Structure 1
Amino acid sequence: MHSHRLRGQNFLIVTVLNLFITIVEIIGGLLSGSLALLSDAFHNLGDSFSIVLGYVAQLIAHRPESQHRTFGYRRAEILSALLNAIFLIVISIFLIVEAAKRIAHPEPVNGEIMMVVAIVGLVANFASAFLLQGGSRDSLNVKATYLHVLSDALSSLAVIIGGFILIFVDLPWLDPLLTIAVSLYIASEAWPIIKQTVGILMQSAPELDFKSIDHDLMQIKGVNGVHHVHAWQIDEHRIIFSAHINCDNLQLSQMGVIYDQISKVLQEKYGIAHVTIQAEYNRGDDEKLFNTKEDQQNICN
């Protein structure tokens, strides 16, 4: 419970920091005329929403299993990570469009104000990233939120460099160019999270060596065949596995020993959290590990 409260406290501090940065950068962006600062402010405003969403999703995910949610609420964090990553992509596209307009119609920018405000944002963003770093290793949800904050730190750094250059050289295209560069980087970092979360929600098979699994299960005494295999993920950590196995005509007590051996192999060697096995005698002898569409049609016929 202590670590849970501490993480909640971190989320709160990061939210307050991001709201503070947003206000400062909006004021600084309007005073300096910097699109890069205003884009950073929009990112930070989005971060505040993402941080709150991420924390709420984390609270929901820790709710216990029930008769209505037999696998629990763990996918709340996956949904939150997906929404956060999509939000990053949408903001990046919007800012790239605005930056392109600014390149076509450049406006003067005050480099000194731009640089000072960006330094404040950089310090606050790095502090926020530090508070979220630990949780980002274990949760896609926290990783998406952490990515929001880290991308803003990078954006602030780019704005600082741009502001410093603009103090000495009049380059009206530099500010929008920095906006495009940072937006492209943020989008490229968000895209893998979208792919992974969509894969989990679509119950795509995790990265497992199914040939090796088939080989290992066939080494267990009493197992004559493995077929009708399914594997999917509840979240980025919990893999669910089910399969039908062909066995000798054994007593139920003997099957219990085989079940235990199968569960041990799958959990210890392949990191599978939940295993469901259906034993069969002659049924399914001609089926493969995975049935193709043609195989399923033949079975039905």
Structure 2
Amino acid sequence: MKEQPFMNKREINGRRFLAVTLLNATITVVEIIGGVVSGSLALLSDAFHNLGDSLSIVMGYVAQTISGRSENSRRTFGYRRAEILSAFLNALFLIVMSIFLIVEAIQRLEKPTHINGRVMLIVAVVGLIANLLSAVLLHEGSHDSLNIKATYLHVLSDSLSSVAVIIGAIILMYVNVPWLDPLLTIAVALYIAFEAWPIIKKTIEILMQSAPKLDYAAIEKDILAIDGVENIHHIHAWSMDEHRIIFSAHINCQDMKISECEQIYHQIEKLLTTKYNISHVTLQAECKRGQNEELFDTNDDEIHLCQ
């Protein structure tokens, strides 16, 4: 029940996704025509980037819808990682697109062509307005979801691209510098890759079940301070998404009734939830077994390799 307000905060209205998709589709058509007419690689690259945005937005909406499904016998942790997969694929697409644009821009530097700055300017201004509207629609949800953030970055990078194209178009209207258009393309592509890389890194960490950044020494100290806990070992922690941390551990307790042990469970769960922002806690109580083991089971990897 505690997660419900957060879910409401994360939800983005389907109409907003539809509006942003239609905006990007329109921009794509306009910029492809404008890029062909003006001869601008920067404009064409922005057009294909917008096409990728449209696909990204649709994918993001579908992933968010899937992630809201309840847990079942096939997905006991639910479908939260659908958004993580979507964020990873969107960010990866940005990286691939950036590499493609840089290669094309380098080839254009070797064989510069004439650019119609006036047409380039008009189309870029239209693209900028539409991209800014899309960014406004997605901005609210970008703070709480890697999936929405990846989609938002698509749109935001397009806005920056449009600004760069506008500046280039104004210059080209008065000065013949054929290398400026591909140079702007390279600059925008590098920025896109720079913004996308942290998302790829974070999503890979989640998908690989890397341990979240927790103060494990402090956790051990706090749990051992609870009356009845003699030792804690075999700790595992991982993230279901960018917000939900899962934690499991074995604790050694005095020989007691299950009803008494449950009181210790409640104290530990409250501690981990309130102080360390851990969403799901699984504990296994033991008396003598494992009482001399360390906090982390260093033999886990060897066991898994032998299986």
Normalized against structure 1, the TM-score is what?
0.96
- Post-superposition Cα deviations, 1:46-104, rounded to whole Å, max 9, x if no partner, equal 00000000000011000111111111111000000000000000111001000000001
Question: Where does residue 171 of structure 2 map in the other structure?
Answer: 165
Say which SS state the counterpart of residue 276 (structure 1) adopts.
strand
Structure 1 gap ranges (5+) = none
Q: How does 1:175-254 map to 2 (within 5 A)?
A: 175-254=181-260
Question: How many percent of aligned residue pairs carry the same amino acid?
Answer: 65
User: Would the aligned equivalents of 2:10 and 2:141 in 1 still touch at CA under 8 Å?
Assistant: no
Question: Where does residue 129 of structure 2 map in the other structure?
Answer: 123
Change (3 A) 1:23 1:189: same
Say yes or no: does 1:106 pair with 2:74.
no
- The number of aligned residues is 298
Say which SS state the counterpart of residue 186 (structure 1) adopts.
helix
- Post-superposition Cα deviations, 1:19-59, rounded to whole Å, max 9, x if no partner, equal 00001100110010000000000000000000000000011
- Post-superposition Cα deviations, 1:6-31, rounded to whole Å, max 9, x if no partner, equal 61110000000000000110011001
Shift of 1:128: 0.0
Structure 2 gap ranges (5+) = 1-6
- Post-superposition Cα deviations, 1:164-219, rounded to whole Å, max 9, x if no partner, equal 01111110000000000000000011011001001101000111111111111011
Change (3 A) 1:46 1:294: closer
Say which SS state the counterpart of residue 208 (structure 1) adopts.
coil
Change (3 A) 1:221 1:20: same
Change (3 A) 1:165 1:53: same
State the one-letter code of the partner of 1:132: L
Normalized against structure 2, the TM-score is what?
0.94
C-alpha distance in 2 between matches for 1:252 and 1:173: 75
Shift of 1:3: 8.0
RMSD of aligned residue pairs (Cα, Å): 1.8
Question: Where does residue 22 of structure 1 map in the other structure?
Answer: 28
User: Would the aligned equivalents of 2:12 and 2:141 in 1 still touch at CA under 8 Å?
Assistant: no
State the one-letter code of the partner of 2:79: Y
Shift of 1:2: 9.3
Shift of 1:112: 1.0
C-alpha distance in 2 between matches for 1:296 and 1:35: 53
Question: Where does residue 138 of structure 2 map in the other structure?
Answer: 132
C-alpha distance in 2 between matches for 1:291 and 1:59: 37
User: Would the aligned equivalents of 2:11 and 2:141 in 1 still touch at CA under 8 Å?
Assistant: no
Change (3 A) 1:5 1:189: closer
Shift of 1:274: 0.4
Say which SS state the counterpart of residue 256 (structure 2) adopts.
coil
Say yes or no: does 1:273 pair with 2:273.
no
C-alpha distance in 2 between matches for 1:193 and 1:4: 18
C-alpha distance in 1 between matches for 2:104 and 2:79: 39
Question: Where does residue 266 of structure 2 map in the other structure?
Answer: 260
Say yes or no: does 1:91 pair with 2:107.
no
State the one-letter code of the partner of 1:184: L
Question: Where does residue 16 of structure 2 map in the other structure?
Answer: 10
Question: Where does residue 4 of structure 2 map in the other structure?
Answer: none
Question: Where does residue 149 of structure 1 map in the other structure?
Answer: 155
Shift of 1:286: 1.5
Change (3 A) 1:53 1:250: same
